[in-house]
């Protein structure tokens, strides 16, 4: 009986000590810094783009247009694609207040069916923005007629 009492008392003390240590750690943790509101610094066009339907394997691109609406100069620090099928093209800047610039996003079309991809842009001042693009690929029949110049058609009954 004494052993059971000592074991329970020890377990209680260990549990209470662990809970106390955790609450002290939580109380002394450094406050998280809030990320600046990017919508007050940059304006985006094309940050959620839909390609629609594209042939499987056909490379496509589009531009994300960005305008610096802040009072400070902005630089692009990095642009990271979510996968190897996506290739961003960008220049670091600097971009002055009021200046509009572009990031070209390329997709190789090598995903079968519906796709949704992300690209993360990192800017000076701790700003970041995730952009998305989507669409759907379709298989082109192997026996499809080759594209050629349009034929001039005449109405029926004319020579």
Distance CA 117, CA 85 (A): 9
Give pLDDT tens digits for 25-67. 444 555 556 667 899 999 999 999 999 999 999 999 999 999 9
Q: In this structure, how many other beta carbons lie within 10 angstroms of the beta carbon of residue 40?
A: 10
The pLDDT-based confidence of 76 (bands split at 50, 70, 90) is very high
Separation of CA 96 from chain center? 24
Structural domains in the chain plus CATH codes: 38-138 (2.60.40.10)
Give pLDDT tens digits for 82-140. 999 999 999 999 999 999 999 999 999 999 999 999 999 999 999 999 999 999 999 98
Largest CA distance in the chain: 116
Question: How high is the pLDDT of residue 19?
Answer: 47
């Amino acid at each position: 009986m004494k052993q059971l009492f000592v074991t329970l008392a020890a377990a209680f003390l260990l549990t209470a000590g662990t809970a106390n240590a955790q609450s002290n750690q939580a109380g002394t943790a450094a406050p998280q810094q809030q990320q600046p509101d990017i919508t007050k610094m940059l304006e985006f066009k094309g940050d959620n783009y839909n390609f629609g339907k594209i042939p499987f394997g056909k490379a496509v691109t589009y531009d994300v247009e960005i305008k610096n609406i802040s009072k400070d100069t902005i630089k692009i620090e990095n642009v990271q694609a979510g996968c190897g099928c996506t290739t961003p093209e960008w220049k670091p800047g600097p971009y002055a207040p009021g200046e509009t610039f572009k990031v070209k996003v390329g997709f190789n079309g090598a995903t079968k069916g519906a796709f949704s991809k992300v690209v993360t842009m990192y800017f000076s001042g701790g700003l970041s923005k995730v952009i998305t693009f989507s669409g759907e690929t379709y298989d082109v029949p192997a026996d499809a007629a080759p594209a050629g110049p349009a034929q001039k058609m005449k109405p029926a009954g004319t020579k």
